[in-house]
Amino acid sequence: MYEDIPHGDMPGDKIEIDQSHVEKAELIFPLLKEELDEIFETRVIKKAVVSVCGGSGVGKSEVASLLSYFLTEAGIKSYTLSGDNYPHRIPEENDQMRAKVYEEQGEEGLRAYLGSQQEIDFEKVSEIIAAFKAGQPVIALKRMGRVKGDIRWEDVDLSDTQVLMLEWTHGNSDLIQGVDIPILLNSTPEETLEHRRKRNRDKNVDSPLTLLVLNIEQDMLKRQAHKARFIISKQGELLSWDDYCNLMDPEEGR
């Protein structure tokens, strides 16, 4: 039913929507719509930015695409922006840089690199968000391919778009300015790895370095989780902050 809906703007990226994604989006949508209605009531320029974040392979692309579709169908036009377009290097070269950093600086160096300004052009993402919320009608958006040299910029007309839906692991980072409603799709590192294996998008999916990256990613998401407006479990439940803490740190929650 939803196979042909618009999705994120990263070249070559595919979404595979299943019932679990639909259920999560249907859970989030009325809550999100209520929040957006309140935001629009207070703004002269009726635009807002929503981020859907979470670990790699947790379903960000699918849920963000569905939310954009539901909003547009409800008369609130939405565009889905893929944050994976904004690293400084194409995926293969960035993986090589991660390996180089780890080889030369160990885990501490890798933790400092992942999700940092060195890896990702957060400044450009924040500039795009600011331009959108200021009502700039046409904005140049990046297209990051997976082959060296396959990077381009495309002017996109967002004049009648009210919601910019940012789908990205780092969509709740402190280095981004201007996100109004962060939504966290939660998963454990084990769940994330299993999803990546099924998706089989990248090489060396269960290499020691990849496992370390996933664990560091999870630590980053946990540090940022307190800022999320909504947290959704892997099983599709809306989690309170206490629920989330008990799930992620059961020993501390006792």
pLDDT of residue 79: 97
Give residue-wise pLDDT tens across range 79-97. 999 999 999 999 999 999 9
Half-sphere exposure of 189 (CA within 13 A, CB side): 14
Give residue-wise pLDDT tens across range 159-193. 999 999 999 999 999 999 999 999 999 987 667 66
Top pLDDT among 3 and 117 is at: 117
Residues 92, 94, 98, 99, CA torsion sign: positive
For 64-96, letters b (16+ CB in 10 Å) and e give bbbbbbbbbeeebebbbbbbbbbbebbbeebbe
pTM across the whole model: 0.92
Work out the pLDDT band at 203, boundaries 50, 70, 90: low
- Residue 128: strand, helix, or coil: helix
> Where do the domains of the chain lie, and which CATH numbers do they carry?
19-88+121-253 (3.40.50.300)
